[in-house]
Amino acid sequence: MKQHLRNFRRAAPLAARLVATIVAPLVGPIVAPTAICLAATFLPTLAAPALADPLATPARSSALAARSLMLALAPAGARLVAAGERGIVIVSDDGGATWRQAWVPVGVTLTAMHFTDSLHGVAVGHDGVLLASSDGGLSWDKRLDGNQINAMMLADAEQAAVRAHAAQAGARAGEAKAALAAVEQADNALQDMQEAVKSGPSRPLLAVWFKTRALGWAVGSYGQALRTRDGGAHWESIASRLPNPEGLHYNAIGHGADGALYLAGEGGKVYRSGDDGESWRVADSGYKGQLYGVVETAPGTLLAYGFGGHVLLSGDAGATWRELPRLGDKSLIGAAQDGGALLLAARDGTLYRSADQGRSFAAQAPARSLELAAIALHGHTVVLAGVGGVHLSTHLYSK
């Protein structure tokens, strides 16, 4: 029964991008979480040839690639790169006026991207796929998939269980209760990973970010957390280092000017590491829903945003949080910053602009209805991605 309940809980939202763009407009906020899991699962499968493995099948070339569902945006120097359904990646060298399709070795949906410079980038997506580019997004190589990630996380969970049992064996009388709880958590996490291995590469990665060319992280559903120290050539699981015994989803990665790393995710949790992911502390924001992003708006000041327009502010580097007035009732799916200005994008295309580090916002309605999944800035142009591809808006942004 306990395992069944854990599996049932995992029918929760997997990605803000899909909530924003596919299901929520059709079925509403109550049933969207479960429906979105089905949409996320079948997007790549329905488009692929019968019996083809999308992890081994290159993305199909299409004249309509630029109109596909796009879930991620990233600048690569002066170039714009967008990625989305069925492994489609498109690039633009003229500010988004025209696009061309990149070569991608997989046909699974891509959810997030990050470039460390004009040439080197990493993309992540469904089935635990992780891709790397060294030519500004024109072509990609597969570095990892869910099979390898499952193996890494299983080894991580096994080692964590060994440590927990050893600690219990050496615990003093006053430490016995805490040691027993740690053993139960470690054993449950190990059991979950054993089941995940049996299920195959079914769990999406949802965010990726690099601090330097060498040091980066990728996180995702069910507590997946990876780190690389060599630019993505090799990855390790750091899942057992995070205080997340329930295996809650990590939806986004944020970072601070002081080098701190933040994860925002399910259950209103925000996780912070001040040592590049070696150790973590978790703060309960007081909000129990999905958080889809966290940004630093000033040194020590953080803004977290998520489902249904919820916004939370912290003035002490994430130790405590207070909820601000909701920004409408649509999920907030992304943020972009330029100097002192902060933009939050809602899934319906509404932009919320703050000039006071996220303490207050002014709404800017779009010229037409949109279904969005990502936002970026290119000069003074707001670049928006979602249903129908990439959309450009110049009138919505002003200093």
Q: How does pLDDT run across 142-154, given as a tens digit for each residue?
A: 999 999 999 998 9
pTM of the model: 0.85
Q: Which of 21-25, 71-75, 282-286, 354-358 comes out lowest in average pLDDT?
A: 21-25
* CA pair distance 330, 313, nearest whole angstrom: 18
Mean pLDDT of all residues in 169-173: 85
CA distance to 24, 174, 203, 367, per residue, from 113 (Å): 23, 47, 17, 27
pLDDT of residue 339: 80
- pLDDT > 90: what percent of the chain? 71
Q: In terms of pLDDT, which residue wins out, 210 or 14?
A: 210
Of 337, 244, 231, give the one whose Cα is nearest residue 293.
337
Mean pLDDT of all residues in 226-233: 96
Half-sphere exposure of 139 (CA within 13 A, CB side): 2
pLDDT of residue 85: 98
Mean pLDDT of all residues in 8-33: 38
Mean pLDDT of all residues in 62-86: 97
pLDDT of residue 185: 86
pLDDT of residue 37: 38
Highest-pLDDT range among 9-23, 151-165, 287-301: 287-301
Single-letter residue type at 238: I
DSSP assignment string, 292-340:
EEEEEEETTEEEEEEGGG-EEEESSTTSS-EEPPP-SSSPEEEEEEETT
* CA pair distance 191, 193, nearest whole angstrom: 5
Half-sphere exposure of 338 (CA within 13 A, CB side): 14
pLDDT exceeds 70 at position 93: yes
Q: What is the pLDDT of residues 315-334, one digit of tens each?
A: 999 999 999 999 999 999 99
Say how far residue 179 (Cα) sits from the centre of its chain.
32
- The token pair that represents 379 in the structure block: 């000069």
Single-letter residue type at 122: V
pLDDT of residue 51: 63
Mean pLDDT of all residues in 118-142: 98
Single-letter residue type at 303: L
- The token pair that represents 37 in the structure block: 């899991």
Beta-bridged to residue 346, according to DSSP, are 332
pLDDT of residue 43: 47
- The token pair that represents 88 in the structure block: 């489609």
pLDDT of residue 52: 85
Half-sphere exposure of 11 (CA within 13 A, CB side): 10
* Sheet of 130-133, strand order: 110-115, 121-125, 130-133, 141-144
Q: In terms of pLDDT, which residue wins out, 289 or 9?
A: 289
**Furthest-apart CA atoms within the chain: distance in Å:** 69
Taking the domains of the chain in order of start, what are their residue ranges?
65-145+201-393
Paired sense of beta strands 351-354 and 341-346, if any: antiparallel
Q: Which of 8-12, 61-65, 176-180, 295-299 comes out lowest in average pLDDT?
A: 8-12
pLDDT of residue 179: 85
pLDDT of residue 199: 86
Tell me: domain 65-145+201-393, CATH 2.130.10.10, correct? yes
